[in-house]
Amino acid sequence: MLQYYAAVLLAALAPAATLPMVVQDMVAPAPAGDFRPLGRWDVRLDRVENPRDDRLTHVYITLRNASAANLVQTGDVWVTLEEGTGSGQRSGQGLRAVPGRPELFGSPPPIVRPGGEIRTKYVFDRNRDGGSQRIVIEEGEHQVAYES
């Protein structure tokens, strides 16, 4: 297992021309004004859903690689969903941005080239009070907050 992660890390650090992988969740770039800077990533909050047939809140975001290096999947990005009551939930598990049940990215994880984008979602237990929500997206010491 350690060899697998070492190979993924080496692939992420390799020049883009040597990577044989195709990123399934890459999308055409969005207008630059929609993104806010973090660290190596720029982020855009796409939508927040509370599906009727699900007990989870789905937070959809798009990450754009703002660095000069290849990045692995949603590396080092954490999303916190804070409720109006002051309580919050934090997740570092980026999932495929597909409707319905949570789906993990495939193996090996997608590599995002410089300037490339990846859509992802994070899921949280449903907000019980129905009040306001605050979404905080973090990468290291950098963070961006959205109010709803």
Residue 140 clears pLDDT 50, i.e. is over it? yes
Q: What residue has token string 């954490």?
A: 78
| 33 — pLDDT class (breaks 50, 70, 90) | low
Phi-psi bin for 24: left (phi > 0), alpha (psi -120 to 50), beta? alpha
Position 12 scores a pLDDT of 46
Residue 122 clears pLDDT 60, i.e. is over it? yes
| 100 — pLDDT class (breaks 50, 70, 90) | confident
pLDDT tens-digit series, residues 128-138: 656 678 899 99
| 127 — pLDDT class (breaks 50, 70, 90) | low
Q: Which of 18-22, 94-98, 114-118 is predicted least confidently?
A: 18-22
Q: Which of 25, 131, 122 is nearest to 77 (CA)?
A: 122
Q: Using DSSP, state whether 49 is helix, strand or coil.
A: strand
Position 132 scores a pLDDT of 74
Global model pTM greater than 0.85: no
Domains assigned to the chain: 2-147 (2.60.40)
Task: List the beta strands (DSSP E) in 36-140.
Answer: 36-37, 41-49, 56-65, 71-72, 77-83, 88-91, 95-96, 111-112, 117-125, 133-139
More confident residue, 54 or 91: 91
* Six token digits for residue 76: 């080092």
Q: Which of 13-17, 90-94, 116-120, 139-143 is predicted least confidently?
A: 13-17
Dmax over Cα atoms in the chain, in whole Å? 50
Q: Which of 20-29, 40-49, 103-112 is predicted least confidently?
A: 20-29
